[in-house]
Amino acid sequence: MGTGMFDYAPAPESTALVDIAASYGLYIDGAMVDPLDGTPFKTVNPATEEVLAEVVAAGPRDVDRAVAAARAAYDGTWSRLSGRDRGKYLFRVARLVQERARELAVLESIDNGKPIRESRDVDVPLAAAHFFYYAGWADKLGYAGFGPDPRPLGVAGQVIPWNFPLLMLAWKIAPALATGNTVVLKPAETTPLTALAFADICRQADLPPGVVNIVTGAGDTGRALVEHPGVDKVAFTGSTEVGRQIARSVAGTRKKLTLELGGKAANIVFDDAPLDQAVEGIVNGIFFNQGHVCCAGSRLLVQESVADELLDRLKRRLATLRLGDPLDKNTDIGAINSPAQLDKIRELSDVGEQEGAERWSPACELPERGYWFPPTLFTGVSQAHRIAREEIFGPVLSVLTFRTPAEALEKANNSPYGLSAGVWTDKGSRILWMAQRLRAGVVWANTFNRFDPTSPFGGYKESGFGREGGRHGLEGYLDV
Amino acid sequence: MSTTASRAGDLADVAASNDTLRRFLHGLPGVDQVGVEARAAGLATRSIKTTAKQFALDLAVRMVDLTTLEGQDTAGKVRALCAKGRRPDPTDPTCPSVAAICVYGDLVPAAVDALRGSDVAVAAVATAFPSGRAPLDLKLADVRAAVDAGADEIDMVIDRGAFLAGRYLDVHDEITATRAACGDAHLKVILETGELATYDNVRRASWLAMLAGADFIKTSTGKVSPAATPPVTLVMLEAVRDFRSQVGRQVGVKAAGGIRSAKDAVRYLVMVNETCGDDWLSPDWFRFGASSLLNDLLMQRQKMLTGRYAGPDYFTLD
């Protein structure tokens, strides 16, 4: 962030709308309840390291209670409601998310560290849009291509990550409820607050008790939920490592599984690309949400003939990024979500240097308190480098070059992951040629990190299986 | 910068023929419409408050080319506008003057007279403004008359018909001739982006004008809708930024027409700041062609100073 003559004064979003309790219980059977065997832990603001609230790491008995509540609600009310009535509840939830948008955005930025510009303009509006979209499907399931009267699965156990807490909650809960399932959802241990606020939205919406249950906690709580015999469906978004464990534990059971895991997306820039917009797409691809995005464009593949010019433009652009207080409306790069994640980003970045790649960051002052990492790019990266293969999940871009479309394709596909990819070119035929051959669930053409509830999202290979969003997103929650 | 360097090396020969010019302009990186509009919209979400807003409002006042371009203009009307331009807010001696008063050529003497002794420049539209549909010798005579009458700046229009027909060399040579007719006066080249239709054309026309010697490139006449828009101005800002880094000469940008609120003006300044940086944040390098914008700037400026809004009757209508 340069400090030129036009120096933007602080423009902090007001926190007046947000009311964080000193401690929270678990949301089970329509009420906030004290834990049976859970233990308290604290959630902190990653930008200041201040403790925000005390929450519960739910124990096995708590999870059991939540699953039982979800089962009772499934048998007793939710599976008997007409699609039209389920849709009415979901529309109500969607409207409440919109009504409380500002509060949710501030809460998300405080708990997660992401810039308010993103939580306000991306996370919360998309979460509301997701509920609206699936609310519309609830009474039309017979026309979705899964038979005349597709049945729900039962109780869904859902475990979500910390990078888009409310949005991932919406991706999980909206299709599950629309199709007639009930849910037990575990938010990530570092970002429970918007899920707990959502519990209040369920109460406001008069959702029947037990249809949505929220149990906070860390890995142990997640394991208890996933392995609970009363769960019919497991949906997980998170790391490939945990995804593997879940797949193992679910194997041989009746449980249906969808996994949305890691990625190492190639963002491919051809020499005829619109360069200024490609620069924006690269920035949006890897520095959006501090790079805490499973589909982040963390590998930039640029054609050799424009590599120098593109990198000059990219570096000039990175120098204008504003890092700092997530609640400042002009902040582009917020805080890293946790010290553990910061350690991982630092470690892999150091490895990148040791492997011989050249590291560059713009002049960028980091705040003294909190967890921060400057936007960083590595040039001279080759396919054999760890920073070209492993998911860093931070604001770190690895730049590789290529000479021909075939080489670009080969390098892009040469990864155990396959969640997303980007293609930048003015040539339509080349976009189609690449899109047909890229082994990635989403291929963006002349854009990146664009999301819409109507569009299915999911991975190839070790990026997981199953699709979320769109008509396809219904399938994971239907007995088909 | 391999491709850029070779481009800069060739620039002397670029205007050798229509073919070389065409090859160069069509070799510029394309502009993705969705992407550039998204970037402009993203920059518009910057929140400019307190000290930053004060800075921006004062700067915007200093960048205004206060304009009257009506068939009904008279010397009296121009004199009134000049008085406003010299002291936009008579109640506040700290309020800066505007950059220039922009009038039709025949009213230049009135403006020169009324602005004598001030720092406010006189800008004249010329070359058969706004259509530009006149023989070249008449256009050049139009320019010379304005310069002889004392205009400091000439706002010319390009021949959009020739540009759209691919006769780039004709456009180029016309600008070069106008440049020569200007003498010491500054030349602003109006692209009339509302008639160029695509962002690719805006980028090409920007480069064409700069190659031909423009001191400023200007979006619009204000007589065609759409006039200045944020994405069009963004493309032009990128062009002047790239032109300087490749050729070494700095060119200014003037956004004209359709900018009426202080809020919009501040958004344009954010765009200048984050695209071109400090070097363009001055009336020497960025201008607003506007008339009603000034009063909103003054109103917001006074609000920043006093903490309350004065009614519209407290600001002069000229």
Which pLDDT value is given to residue B9? 53
Tens digit of pLDDT for each residue in A279-324?
999 999 999 999 999 999 999 999 999 999 999 999 999 999 999 9
Give the 3-state secondary structure of residue A402. Answer: strand
A residues 326-355 closer than 8 Å to B (CB) = 329-330
Residue of A nearest to B46 (CA): A330
- 3-state SS, B107-130, equals HHHHHHHHHCCCCCEEEEECCCCC
Tens digit of pLDDT for each residue in B223-273?
999 999 999 999 999 999 999 999 999 999 999 999 999 999 999 999 999
Q: What predicted TM-score, i.e. pTM, was given to this entire model?
A: 0.96
Contact between residue A187 and residue A120 where contact means Cβ atoms under 8 Å apart: no
Please indicate if any CB of chain A lies within 8 Å of the CB of B80. no
Contact between residue A371 and residue A335 where contact means Cβ atoms under 8 Å apart: yes
Which pLDDT value is given to residue B4? 45
B274 and A9: CB-CB below 8 Å? Answer: no
Specify the fold of B2-308: TIM Barrel (3.20.20)
What's the first-to-final CA gap in chain A, in angstroms?
Answer: 52
B2 and A308: CB-CB below 8 Å? Answer: yes
Contact between residue B59 and residue B81 where contact means Cβ atoms under 8 Å apart: no
With beta carbons under 8 A apart, name residues in chain B contacting A312: 1
B residues 39-68 closer than 8 Å to A (CB) = 39, 45-53, 55-56, 59
User: Which domains are delineated in chain A?
Assistant: 26-261+461-475 (3.40.605.10), 266-445 (3.40.309.10)
Q: Active site residue: A13, A118, A260, A391, which one?
A: A260
Which pLDDT value is given to residue A3? 65
Q: Active site residue: B254, B264, B296, B318, which one?
A: B254
Q: Active site residue: B65, B142, B155, B242, which one?
A: B155
Contact between residue A111 and residue A326 where contact means Cβ atoms under 8 Å apart: no
What CA–CA distance (Å, rounded) separates B213 from B187? Answer: 8
Average pLDDT, chain A: 97
Contact between residue B198 and residue B30 where contact means Cβ atoms under 8 Å apart: no
% of chain A with per-residue pLDDT over 90: 99
Contact between residue A480 and residue A150 where contact means Cβ atoms under 8 Å apart: yes
Tens digit of pLDDT for each residue in A394-424?
999 999 999 999 999 999 999 999 999 999 9
Tens digit of pLDDT for each residue in A50-79?
999 999 999 999 999 999 999 999 999 999
User: Is residue A1 pLDDT above 70, yes or no?
Assistant: no
Residue B155 bears catalytic tag: yes
Tens digit of pLDDT for each residue in B191-207?
999 999 999 999 999 99
What CA–CA distance (Å, rounded) separates A442 from A265? Answer: 10
> Which DSSP category does A13 fall into?
P
Disruptive mutation site among B32, B232, B269 for chain A (greatest number of A CBs within 10 Å): B32
Count of all residues that appear for chain B in the document: 318
Residue of A nearest to B35 (CA): A277
Q: Active site residue: B53, B84, B218, B296, which one?
A: B218
Tens digit of pLDDT for each residue in A147-204?
999 999 999 999 999 999 999 999 999 999 999 999 999 999 999 999 999 999 999 9
Please indicate if any CB of chain A lies within 8 Å of the CB of B164. no
Residue A364 bears catalytic tag: no
Q: What is the pLDDT confidence band of residue B10, given thresholds at 50, 70 and 90?
A: low
Tens digit of pLDDT for each residue in B44-86?
999 999 999 999 999 999 999 999 999 999 999 999 999 999 9
A277 and B3: CB-CB below 8 Å? Answer: no
* Residue from the list B35, B45, B281 with its beta carbon closest to the beta carbon of A274: B35
Residue A183's beta-bridge partner residues? A156, A212
What CA–CA distance (Å, rounded) separates B313 from B183? Answer: 42
Query: Is the dihedral angle over the CA atoms A119, A120, A121, A126 positive or is it negative?
Result: positive
Domain ranges of chain B: 2-308
Disruptive mutation site among A3, A271, A277, A332 for chain B (greatest number of B CBs within 10 Å): A277
* DSSP per-residue letters across A33-94: E--SS-EEEEEE-TTT--EEEEEEE--HHHHHHHHHHHHHHHHHTGGGS-HHHHHHHHHHHH
Average of per-residue pLDDT across A11-20: 96
Phi, psi (deg, nearest 5) at residue A28: -135, 130
Residues 6+ apart with CB under 8 A from A328: A10, A11, A12, A13, A115, A116, A322
Residue B4 C-beta-side C-alpha neighbours within 13 Å: 18
A residues 107-146 closer than 8 Å to B (CB) = 117, 121
What CA–CA distance (Å, rounded) separates A72 from B89? Answer: 72
Which pLDDT value is given to residue B318? 84
User: Is residue A42 pLDDT above 50, yes or no?
Assistant: yes
At residue B225's C-alpha, the angle toward residues B222 and B226, to 5°, is 100
* Residue from the list B31, B56, B238 with its beta carbon closest to the beta carbon of A6: B56
Phi, psi (deg, nearest 5) at residue B156: -100, 160
* Residue from the list A4, A9, A329 with its beta carbon closest to the beta carbon of B51: A9
User: Is residue B2 pLDDT above 60, yes or no?
Assistant: no
What CA–CA distance (Å, rounded) separates B38 from B267? Answer: 14
ipTM: 0.95
**CA-to-CA dists, residue B192 to A375, B33, B52, B240, angstroms:** 39, 18, 31, 17
B274 and A320: CB-CB below 8 Å? Answer: yes
Which pLDDT value is given to residue B1? 37
% of chain B with per-residue pLDDT over 90: 95
User: Is residue B34 pLDDT above 80, yes or no?
Assistant: yes
Residues 6+ apart with CB under 8 A from A384: none
Contact between residue A388 and residue A234 where contact means Cβ atoms under 8 Å apart: no
Judging by DSSP bridges, how do beta strands A376-379 and A442-445 pair with one another? unpaired
Contact between residue A56 and residue A22 where contact means Cβ atoms under 8 Å apart: no
Kindly report the number of other CB atoms within 10 A of residue A242's CB atom. Answer: 20
Which pLDDT value is given to residue B7? 47
Tens digit of pLDDT for each residue in B117-134?
999 999 999 999 999 999
**CA-to-CA dists, residue A436 to A409, A412, A460, B66, angstroms:** 10, 13, 14, 55
Please indicate if any CB of chain A lies within 8 Å of the CB of B8. no
DSSP H/E element including A429? helix A428-437
Average pLDDT, chain B: 95
User: Is residue B5 pLDDT above 70, yes or no?
Assistant: no
Residue of B nearest to A1 (CA): B274
What CA–CA distance (Å, rounded) separates B59 from B98? Answer: 9
Residue B318 bears catalytic tag: no
